[in-house]
Amino acid sequence: MAKIKDNKTITTRAKIIQNATIDSLKQLNPFVMIKNPIMFVVEICFIIMIFLTIDPNVFGLSELNKTSNLIITIFLFLTLFFANFAENLAKQIGKAQVESLRLIRGDIEVKRFKPDGYIEYVFSSQLVRGDLIRVQEGDLIPLDGEIVEGMATVDESAITGESSPVLKEAGSDTASTVTGGTRVLTDSLLIKITSEQGETYLDQMVNIAEGIERHKTPNEISLNVLLTSSTISFLLAIFMLAVLMNYLDIHIEATYLIALLVCLIPTTIGGLFTPITISGFEKANALNVLAISKKSIESSGDINILFLDKTGTLTHGNRMAIEFIPVGDNSLNEIARIAYLASIFDHTPEGKSILTLAKRHGINIDHKSIKGIPHEFSAHTRMSGIDLESGKSLRKGSPEAIIKYVQTKNGTIWPETNQIVEHIAKEGSTPLLIAKNNEIIGVIHLKDLIKSNMKGKFKELSTLGIETVMCTGDTNTTARAIAAELGIYDFISQAKPEDKIHLIREYQNKGMMVAMIGDGTNDAPALAQADIGLAMNNGTVAAKEAANMIDLDSDPTKIINIVKIGRQLLTTRGAITTFSIINDITKYFALLPTIFPIAGIERLNFMHLEPGYPAILSAIIFNTLIIPAMTPIALKGINIKDLSPNRLLERNLIIFGIGGIIAPFVGMKVINLLLGGIF
C-alpha cells in the first residue's frame, strides 16, 4: 500500500514538473511577459541576441562569432525559463491541490435523518444547512458541519496536507467541527450541516487556488514600482553608456552591453516575486485558515495590536459549575444532592453543568423516581427547584433571589454566605445559592471556563512586538480576573460593538495595523473594520462574512502562526530583494574592469577574471543559475525566530546583503576558472 502511495506521489510530482515546464514555455509570449517588466526587459535582450546570433555584425563590426553569441542567447533563454518555472511551479502545486480537492467533492450518497426520526438515503448535493447526517468508518464527510454526537478519528490530509488523523468529538471547543471532503477513519459521527452547497471551506479553497492570478497588495505594488524604476534607470544608464562609448570612438560589443544590462537589473527577485506570495497562501491553507482577502496574509506580518473577543472566543461562552461550597453545618454530599434535585428542571447550560458536577460527586438520581411540583428556571424568578411530595422545598438561583426567598420564610442565612458570594464575584465568576426549605445550605461556583489551550499562549505575541487587548461586555472585576488567567495584560470591560470600532479606528488613525478576533454577530462590525479580521468557524455567519480570514479549527491562538507566516512572507521577499539588488551591483563592479577597453581600468580587476567574453559569460551563467538556486528559499520561506519585525529585517538584511556581495565574486570566479580552459 505504501509503495502504491509513493508511486502516486512520484507521478503527481512528475506531472507538476511537466505542466510547469509547458506553462513556462507558453509564458515566453511577450504579451504575457510584459506583466513582469524586469523579465520583459530580459526577453527583449534575448530577442536581440537571437539576431546577433544569426548575424554578429547587425550593430556594426563584431569580434564575436555566432557560437559565442549563441551561448549567451541560450543562457538568457534559461534565465527566462527558470524565472517562469519558479512561478509556474508554485501555481502547479496549488492546482494539484485543487485537482485532489475536486476528486473528493463528488456527489456521494449519505444517510440523512428526517424530522420524524426515520433515515433516508440522499445525495450530498441535496443537503442543506441544518440537516442531520450520519457518517461512519470509511465515509467521506460531504459538507462542513458540527458534530452533534459521537467521537471518531478523521483524515484531514486532503485539506491540511497533514497525514496524522485528527480526533473529533462532540462538545469539544476546538474539535467539534468537521470539513467537507475529509474522511472518517474510525467509529461514527452524527453531524449537523452548517454550510450550503458551494460555500464550504473546501469550495473556498478551490476558488482561491484557481484564482491565483490575483490583485497585488499595496506592499507588492510599492516593491514593483521600486524594481521597475530601477530597471528603467539601469536601461537608460546602459543606453547612455553606449552613446558615450560611441562618442569617444571606443568600440564595445553589443553583446557585452546586453549582458551587462541583464546582470544589472534585479532578475532574481523579478523571477521569484510571485512564488514567494503564492507560498504564503499555501502555508495558511495548511494551517487550516481560509484567507478570503487577497492582502490578509501579507498584512498579518505588520500587525501592531490585537483585539480579542472573550466570550465564545477565549472562553466556552457558557458559565459552568466548577465547585459546591457548603455553609453552616451542611455536608458537601448533601449540597451536591440538593443542587442536583433543584436543577433537574433547569434546561439552561448552567443547569446542565450543575447536574454534571453533581454526578462527579457520585449523585445520580433516577428522574422518574422524583415526585413533586417542578419550578423551571425563568428570567423573572431567577431560580429553579422543586417542591417534593415529602414537603421539602428545594431552590437554586441567584443570591438576590434566594436570599429574598428565604427571608420571606424567616429562614436561616449563615454569616459566611455573603463572604463566599463576594469572594466568587471578585474572581470574575458567578455565585448561585442553594436553599433547602427555609435555610441557605450552600453556594455553587459558576465560571465561564477558559478554553484549555488558551492560557499563557498570548504572551508570545508580546515577544513578536504585538500588543494584546481583551474586549468583553463583562464587569471590570470579571474582565480583570479572566485577563490575568489568560496572561493578557490589557483589557476593556463592558465594551459595546461601537466601542470596539471606535478603538480600532483610533489605532488605525495612528498608523497602526489592527487585528480583531471574534465569533459573534456583535463582533462583526469590528471584524470588518480591522485590517485583519479572524473569525472562528464555530461562530455566527455574520462574523464569518465580515472577517477576511476564517479559522476552521476555531483556535484564536493561531493568530501567532498567522503573524509568523505573514512576517516570513515579508522577510523572504525583503531578503531576496536585498540579495538580488546587491548581487547585481556586485556583478557590475566585477564586470566593469573586464569589458571596457579603457587604460588603467584593468587594475580594478582584483578577482583576476579572464577579461572580455569569458568574464561576460561567467556573469551570465551565474545570473541564470542563481534563480533556481534561490527558488527553494522562495517557496519554503526563510526560517524566522520570535523576533520583532525590525530585528528580523536587520538580521536578514545583513545575512542576504553580505551573501549578495560574496556569492557573485565566488560564483563568477569559479565559473571563470572552469571557462578558462575552454576559451
- CA-CA distances (angstroms) from residue 551 to 104, 158, 367, 449, 651? 21, 17, 41, 21, 31
Query: d(Cα 92, Cα 23) in Å, to the nearest integer?
Result: 9
What three-state secondary structure class fits 449?
strand
Tens digit of pLDDT for each residue in 219-229?
666 777 888 88
Which residue in the list 155, 173, 203, 309 is annotated as catalytic? 309
Q: Could you confirm whether domain 316-450 is CATH 3.40.1110.10?
A: yes
Q: What is the DSSP string of 538-589?
A: TS-HHHHHH-SEEETT--TTHHHHHHHHHHHHHHHHHHHHHHHHHHHHHHHH
332-363: b (≥16 Cβ within 10 Å) or e: eeebbbbbbbbbbbbeeebbebbbebbeeeeb
Query: d(Cα 562, Cα 22) in Å, to the nearest integer?
Result: 34
Could you tell me if 180 and 133 are in contact, meaning their C-beta atoms sit under 8 angstroms apart?
Answer: no
Common-topology check for domains 289-314+452-551 and 316-450 = no
pLDDT at res. 550: 87
Q: What is the DSSP string of 457-496?
A: TTHHHHHTT-EEEEE-SS-HHHHHHHHHHHT--EEE-S--
CATH number of 109-139+145-194: 2.70.150.10
pLDDT at res. 584: 86
pLDDT at res. 161: 47
Q: Would you call 309 a catalytic residue per the annotation?
A: yes
Q: What is the DSSP string of 278-339?
A: HHHHHHHHHTTEEE-STTHHHHHTT--EEEEE-TTTTEEEEEEEEEEEE-TT--HHHHHHHH
End-to-end CA distance of the chain: 54
pLDDT at res. 245: 80
Query: d(Cα 411, Cα 515) in Å, to the nearest integer?
Result: 53
Could you tell me if 523 and 497 are in contact, meaning their C-beta atoms sit under 8 angstroms apart?
Answer: yes
- DSSP type of residue 144: -
pLDDT at res. 506: 92
Could you tell me if 636 and 556 are in contact, meaning their C-beta atoms sit under 8 angstroms apart?
Answer: no
- Weakly modelled stretches of the chain, pLDDT under 70: 1-12, 94-107, 157-164, 171-175, 198-221, 294, 317-318, 379, 428, 452-453, 597-602, 642-646, 677-679
Tell me the HSE value of 230 on the side-chain side, using a 13 A CA sphere: 20
pLDDT at res. 25: 93
pLDDT at res. 433: 94
Query: d(Cα 295, Cα 548) in Å, to the nearest integer?
Result: 9
Could you tell me if 23 and 92 are in contact, meaning their C-beta atoms sit under 8 angstroms apart?
Answer: yes
pLDDT at res. 600: 65
Place of cell 512520484: 10
Structure-block grid coordinates of residue 171:
462538545
Backbone angles phi, psi at 600, to 5 degrees: 90, -20
Domain 289-314+452-551 class in CATH: alpha beta
Structure-block grid coordinates of residue 62:
563584431
User: Domain map of the chain by residue range?
Assistant: 2-98+209-285+564-593+606-673, 109-139+145-194, 289-314+452-551, 316-450
What three-state secondary structure class fits 184?
strand
With the C-alpha atoms ordered 383, 387, 388, 392, is the resulting torsion angle positive or negative?
Answer: positive
Q: Is the pTM of this model over 0.75?
A: no
Backbone angles phi, psi at 269, to 5 degrees: -70, -30
Backbone angles phi, psi at 447, to 5 degrees: -145, 140
Structure-block grid coordinates of residue 263:
546582470
Place of cell 503573524: 563
